[in-house]
Structure 1
Amino acid sequence: MKRLAWVSVCAALWTGCSRSTDIPSYYPLPEFSLTDQAGKSVTLHDLAGRVWVADFIFTSCGGTCPLITANMRKLQDVLPPEIRLVSITVDPARDTPEILAAYAGEHGAAGDRWLFLTGDKQALHDLCVKGFKLPLDTEGGTAAEPIVHSTRFVLVDKRAEVRGYYSGTEEDELKRLAIDAKRLS
């Protein structure tokens, strides 16, 4: 029995020491300044020192955004409160802070924990494509989803480095994301 307890302690210590070393680090995110659903400025610096999960949505989306947002809500329910969630609109002309606040309320977003960000169209495009390295086409969509964007969740560490991409529509990927986010926090 004592040996089993000792093995458990050693395993816990080993896991604690190697918590994030096996999660790849891709690249740092560029500086940005956007506006949240409360009308407050949010910069990369404001998120520094925290693990966070980002996604790209728009509130009038008739395609995958409702599912992605529901899955982000699931993450809100299972992740520790120190991990932030950040949903960034790809339709800033429509998604004002007021619209984002209403959308956040409809989806049960915890105010200071789950941010919904908007800003200048070009700045948002550059952040998505050049910063997060995700596809975005604001001209070539369909009637149901006029803006074509990624359905990926992006895990960002405390140093504002991208650490992983996960499907925002698949349960097993959500579980893997939750495990990785907890390991980084």
Structure 2
Amino acid sequence: MRPAAAVAIVLSLAGCREAPRLPEYGTVPAFQLTSQTGEVFDSSVLEGKIWVADFFFTTCAGPCPRMSAQMRQVGKRAQDLPDLRLVSFTVDPEHDTPEVLAAYSKRFQASPERWVFLTGPVETLNMLSFDSFKLGRVDNKDEHSTRFVLVDRRSRIRGYYTSWESGVIQQLVDDIRSLYRESS
């Protein structure tokens, strides 16, 4: 066999290999909070959907506006995936009322059908952030996580993405697409 032909065969076989499956880090339990529209948001609407979560607060002068802009980028880059949802949880529920969240969401041109901003009892938000997502407590809003969390159609956490890392948005979108292929 010619060396060029052997190399071509090896390269073609290497390209056929499936990408490694994303790990599973735990499951997000059912929850109910209040959305930016003022309506009760029941997590059951996320069943069967892939979603990305983050934690923020509207008066944040640090990483939050950048993270929200990055979430918007994720939504734009994956706009061809109709079942993708973006879920932003406030870490300042005393200030971030539905009205405040609605105004904030408009800054980022968020469609409530696709990107929901949630508030509710601090106990519920703590349970989600600390116990479910393993990101830390929300008691001190200035120390909240700056990570995005990828959740699959069965509410399993499949990835963590540090918002300030180079290339994070592309990696997140690539992994979202990987989950779509995995579940199709």
TM-score after normalising by structure 1: 0.83
- SS across alignment from 1:103: helix
| Cα distance in 2, alignment partners of residues 120 and 86 from structure 1 | 16
- SS across alignment from 1:169: coil
- SS across alignment from 1:150: coil
Look at both structures and tell me which one has the larger radius of gyration over its CA atoms. Answer: 2
Structure 2: which 5+ residue stretches go unaligned?
1-7
| Cα distance in 1, alignment partners of residues 138 and 132 from structure 2 | 15
What is the total number of aligned residue pairs between the two structures? 168
Q: Percent identity among equivalent residues?
A: 43
Give 2:113's aligned residue. 112
Pick aligned residue for 1:179 from 167, 171, 174? 174
Quick one: which amino acid aligns to residue 87 of structure 2?
V
- Give the deviation of 1:43 after TM superposition: 2.2
Task: Tell which deviates more after alignment, 162-171 or 64-73.
Answer: 162-171
Q: Contact 1:136–1:147 (CA<8 Å) still a contact in 2?
A: no
Instruction: Note closer, same or farther for the CA distance 1:171–1:43 as it changes in structure 2 (3 Å cut).
Output: farther
- List structure 1 segments (4+ residues) > 2 angstroms apart after TM superposition: 136-139
- Give the deviation of 1:151 after TM superposition: 0.2
Where do residues 1-185 of structure 1 align in structure 2 (5 Å cutoff)?
Answer: 18=18, 22-79=21-78, 80-139=81-140, 147-185=142-180
- Give the deviation of 1:107 after TM superposition: 1.1
Once the two structures are superposed, residues 155-178 of structure 1 have per-residue CA deviations (whole angstroms, 9 ceiling, x without a partner) of: 000000000000122341211111
Quick one: which amino acid aligns to residue 69 of structure 2?
A
| Cα distance in 2, alignment partners of residues 87 and 70 from structure 1 | 12
Structure 1: which 5+ residue stretches go unaligned?
140-145
Once the two structures are superposed, residues 121-157 of structure 1 have per-residue CA deviations (whole angstroms, 9 ceiling, x without a partner) of: 1111111001111023534xxxxxx521000000000
- SS across alignment from 2:117: strand
Q: Contact 2:125–2:138 (CA<8 Å) still a contact in 1?
A: no
Give 1:142's aligned residue. none
RMSD, matched Cα: 2.0
TM-score after normalising by structure 2: 0.84
